[in-house]
């Protein structure tokens, strides 16, 4: 190979290697992760959170309401109802109903707020006392650390739940328990209802809150979620 052609080949090879090194050393832009804590009650909003986050990957972590803790590493926490005390910035993004549910075959179709209080407190223990069949009342609730239960208890002026109440750790457990027992009574949020049970009384319409320890970019996300 002629000397001039060989020199030119090595020159071009050197330029190529130099460009490759520059490209490999250039920092690759990273998309920061968005950490979001939430309760089971706000599952219907998680898809909207992902959509509003745009290209940012979202990591969701489900927790009981008592353990939500948005800080410098956790961008947001979402729950229903206002905690006491409210320790974070909070944006109202929606409303959610908490409803009393029965088995579809339960003949009791209209309950008053006073009757609901009496049923869940254990003052009424037989369905015949509220126009139903002669059968014992089986009460189901969520653990006190869940936002749904907190909203329910607050709406009924701090009701003392009967000590015979059975605990449902998650919505599916609650729905299944009521669906399998014509004498059961429980509670759930309206968006988590399904055809296995029947809503008979709306306890309260509660705010869905986006909580954060820093104002930005919470306001932008809250605005998107309200749309």
| pLDDT exceeds 50 at position 104 | yes
Per-residue confidence (pLDDT) for residue 11, from 0 to 100? 44
CA pair distance 142, 120, nearest whole angstrom: 12
Q: Where residue 19 falls among pLDDT bands split at 50, 70, 90?
A: very low
- Please state the domain extents for the chain: 34-94+208-226, 96-206
Question: What is the CATH code of the structural domain delimited by 34-94+208-226?
Answer: 3.40.190.10
Per-residue confidence (pLDDT) for residue 108, from 0 to 100? 94
Kindly report the number of other CB atoms within 10 A of residue 196's CB atom: 13
| pLDDT exceeds 70 at position 31 | no
Contact criterion met (CB below 8 Å) for 41 and 81: no
What class is the 96-206 domain? alpha beta
pLDDT tens for residues 149-208? 999 999 999 899 999 999 999 999 999 999 999 999 999 999 999 999 999 999 999 999
Kindly report the number of other CB atoms within 10 A of residue 155's CB atom: 18
Computed over every residue of the chain, the mean pLDDT equals 87
Per-residue confidence (pLDDT) for residue 216, from 0 to 100? 61
CA pair distance 77, 68, nearest whole angstrom: 6
Contact criterion met (CB below 8 Å) for 21 and 60: no
Least confident of 48-57, 68-77, 85-94, 132-141: 68-77
pLDDT tens for residues 50-74? 999 898 899 999 999 999 988 867 7
| pLDDT exceeds 60 at position 22 | no
Nearest to 152 by CA among 220, 205, 107: 205
Q: Where residue 148 falls among pLDDT bands split at 50, 70, 90?
A: very high
| pLDDT exceeds 60 at position 35 | yes
Contact criterion met (CB below 8 Å) for 48 and 38: no
| pLDDT exceeds 70 at position 118 | yes
| Segment 102-108 mean pLDDT | 96
Per-residue confidence (pLDDT) for residue 46, from 0 to 100? 96
| pLDDT exceeds 60 at position 15 | no
CA pair distance 206, 6, nearest whole angstrom: 79
Domain 34-94+208-226 shares a fold with domain 96-206: yes
Q: Where residue 18 falls among pLDDT bands split at 50, 70, 90?
A: very low
| Segment 141-151 mean pLDDT | 97
* Contact residues for 137 (Cβ-Cβ < 8 A; gap 6+): 119, 124, 125, 126, 127, 183, 185
pTM of the model: 0.84
Q: What's the helix, strand, coil split of the chain in %, to 5?
A: 35, 25, 40
pLDDT tens for residues 196-225? 999 999 999 999 999 998 766 778 888 999
């Amino acid at each position: 190979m002629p000397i001039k052609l060989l020199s030119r080949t090595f020159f071009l090879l050197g330029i190529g290697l130099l460009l490759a090194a520059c490209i490999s050393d250039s920092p690759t832009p990273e998309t920061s992760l968005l950490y979001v804590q939430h309760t089971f009650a706000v599952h219907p909003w998680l898809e909207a959170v992902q959509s509003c986050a745009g290209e940012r990957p979202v990591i969701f972590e489900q927790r009981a309401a008592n353990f939500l803790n948005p800080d410098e590493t956790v961008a947001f926490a979402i729950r229903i109802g206002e905690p006491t005390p409210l320790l974070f910035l909070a944006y109202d993004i929606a409303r959610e109903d908490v409803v009393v549910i029965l088995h579809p075959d339960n003949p009791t179709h209209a309950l008053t707020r006073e009757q609901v209080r009496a049923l869940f407190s254990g003052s009424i223990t037989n369905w015949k006392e509220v126009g139903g069949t002669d059968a014992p009342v089986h009460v189901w609730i969520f653990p006190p650390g869940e936002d749904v239960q907190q909203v329910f208890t607050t709406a009924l002026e701090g009701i003392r739940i009967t000590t015979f109440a059975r605990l449902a750790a998650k919505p599916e457990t609650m729905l299944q328990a009521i669906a399998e027992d014509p004498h059961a009574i429980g509670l759930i949020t309206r968006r988590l209802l399904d055809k296995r049970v029947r809503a008979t009384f709306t306890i309260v319409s509660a705010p869905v809150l986006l909580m954060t320890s820093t104002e930005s970019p919470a306001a932008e996300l809250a605005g998107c979620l309200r749309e």
